[in-house]
Amino acid sequence: MENLLGLLRIHVIRGVNLAIRDVRSSDPYIIVRMGKQKLKTRVVKKNVNPEWNEDLTLSIADPSIPIKLQVFDKDTFSFDDKMGDAEFDIGPFIEAVRMRLENIPSGTVITNVKPSRQNCLAEDSNIVWENGKVKQHMFLRLRNVERGEVELQLEWIDIPGSMGP
């Protein structure tokens, strides 16, 4: 990967009130895509409020490419069922990383991203300085499904020798 800016660690925390796709529940997992990169969480059996607490890491070369997230219900004898999708833009997050902040108190809000028709945010999403790192916490409202949200946290990882964002 030439022109690598750094890594984006996506901490997939949990799903909230996801759709039921089996008889009484679902066996959800998430696929995260950015360009040609594709990452997947583990399956959580029989749970519409799954806790993944799993880290997925993307290599970032072009921060203008949106990150797409799809939730599926794992099925044994048929195709996996769709349980909604969302996407988010890391532009505001990358802008905060580019500020190269130092010596500010942990917990300082750098900027706030509001929910809009252009994003899948369910509520305001703060980009904060936390323990020497830029982090963004977000709840994404799933589209193309009757209900459900996914909670994520983003964290930037600098790579020695990379161009930086």
- Note the pLDDT tens digit of each residue in 14-55: 999 999 988 889 999 999 999 999 999 999 999 999 999 999
- Note the pLDDT tens digit of each residue in 72-127: 999 988 899 999 999 999 999 999 999 988 889 999 999 999 998 889 999 999 99
Structural domain contains residue 130: yes
List Cβ<8 Å contacts ≥24 apart for 102-110. 104/129, 105/129, 106/130, 106/131, 106/132, 110/134
The model's pTM is: 0.93
Structural domain contains residue 164: no
Which residues constitute the domain of residue 119?
6-157
CATH code of the domain in which 79 resides: 2.60.40.150
